[in-house]
Structure 1
Amino acid sequence: MDCISKQKFTIILIVVLIALGCAAYFGDGEGYFIGSFVPEFTGVCLELLIILKVFEVWQQRDEKRKLIKVERRLREFLIFFLNHTCMDFPPSCRPGRFYGIDYEQNQKALEKLINHIEEKGLAENLVIQVQMYCKSECQIINNLIPVSSELENDH
């Protein structure tokens, strides 16, 4: 059984609310349906819309907190990886702290690191060191792949 999406449900509520408003405006105010049911249904629709909005805000806040935790975990792993594998590179090629205030500096340092590797290559001992590190941390790397896919570019 397909469930109705939140967006469709909200649209249905708004349409019902408009229909109830039209019925109340154009209908006979003395009748039982217009006098009793329409105000009650209108209140129920408004309450549901408010509840939906409150839950949506809570869900967005929780999702944002989750993404921040994911980003922190990835940042910690990247810092740990680069600190253990990039010690032999020039200081200008080593990224610093991976926090928002250092974003541009880190981007430049990573570009310099990539250019340095492309120009001069990697020493055999460094390649072996990276391979050993990746083998020892294979489980962590495999666990971080789906985690990193949750992040968006603008996060």
Structure 2
Amino acid sequence: MSYLRSLLSEASDAMLKVYTGIFLLVVLIFKTTVTFYFLDPNASFLDYFKGNLLPEFTGMIVELILFIFVIDVLRDSERKNQEKLKSIALHNEKVDIEHRLRHQLRILVRRVFEDVDLGSSNTGANFKFHASEHEENQETLRALKLMLTDELDSNVFAENLVQSALFELPMIMSLASVNSNLSGRHLKAWMAIIFFLKQISERKNLKDNTEKLIDWIAMFDKASFQQKLSSKI
């Protein structure tokens, strides 16, 4: 009975009409069979039940069970398909959000390390920071971190670093809540990025705070890599 209640409660309007039709058909066959029995005065109800009513109802019950089984299989398949489509839609939405946030981090890194030479005719201004290039991203961020000490010897670089932090901080802060749509790791990384950007904007311990800023940008990239947010499904 609990299975039938579940079946009826989850059924669509169209399926409820089908179930109602089956029930009415069974009632009609029963009524017709009983009517013919009473029209025949010589009929034995037990013989009539065995010879006519029982086979008909047995056949109907078997057909009904098969019908419900097929409907249940189809419904289960449809439910799984809907869940899969929902999962794909959620993943693709996360990819869009991640790429928007990544774009802002790309702008930040390019602005800070714009003139830093990365070799092979590349500078910080060419840093792509694509989600699909995780290893390259990590390698470049490590290289920028190693170059930081020498770069900070330049007052021009240090001033650009502070001004970039001041300029980018409001935008980075405005996007903080969006990270909750990705994961706790993304949100943690983003809040750390905000913290160290603020420290840099206040000219506090530029070397240590910039190194930590780079570490947390790398952590954001790592979190996306682990969640396979490089591309849509």
Please give the range of the TM-score, normalised by the shorter of the 2 chains.
0.5 to 0.7
In 2, the alpha carbon distance for the partners of 1:125 and 1:91 equals: 20
Change (3 A) 1:62 1:101: closer
Q: 1:38-83, CA deviations, whole angstroms, 9 ceiling, x for partnerless residues?
A: 1222122112101111101211221221122122212211221112
Q: CA deviation at 1:148?
A: 3.2
Aligned residue identity for 2:81: V
In 2, the alpha carbon distance for the partners of 1:134 and 1:100 equals: 21
Q: 1:82-117, CA deviations, whole angstroms, 9 ceiling, x for partnerless residues?
A: 121212433357362122554322211101112333
Q: Find the partner of 1:129 among 160, 163, 166.
A: 163
Please say if 1:104 is aligned against 2:177: no
What TM-score do you get using the length of structure 2 for normalisation?
Answer: 0.44
Change (3 A) 1:115 1:46: same
Change (3 A) 1:52 1:101: closer
- 2:64 corresponding residue in structure 1: 37
- 2:80 corresponding residue in structure 1: 53
Q: Which SS does the other structure have where 2:109 is aligned?
A: helix
Aligned residue identity for 1:82: V
Please say if 1:63 is aligned against 2:90: yes
Please say if 1:82 is aligned against 2:113: no
Q: CA deviation at 1:34?
A: 3.5
Percent identity of equivalent pairs: 17
Aligned residue identity for 2:114: M
What TM-score do you get using the length of structure 1 for normalisation?
Answer: 0.62
Change (3 A) 1:43 1:102: closer
Asked if the contact 1:96–1:102 (Cα under 8 Å) also holds between the matched residues in 2, the reply is no
Change (3 A) 1:43 1:143: farther
Aligned residue identity for 1:154: Q
In 1, the alpha carbon distance for the partners of 2:67 and 2:133 equals: 56
Q: Which SS does the other structure have where 2:127 is aligned?
A: coil
- 1:14 corresponding residue in structure 2: none
Unaligned 5+ segments in structure 2 are 1-5, 7-53, 184-223, 229-233
In 1, the alpha carbon distance for the partners of 2:179 and 2:138 equals: 18
Q: Which SS does the other structure have where 1:142 is aligned?
A: helix
Asked if the contact 2:97–2:178 (Cα under 8 Å) also holds between the matched residues in 1, the reply is yes
Number of equivalenced pairs: 125
In 1, the alpha carbon distance for the partners of 2:159 and 2:136 equals: 28
Aligned residue identity for 2:135: E
Unaligned 5+ segments in structure 1 are 1-8, 10-27
Bigger Cα Rg: 2
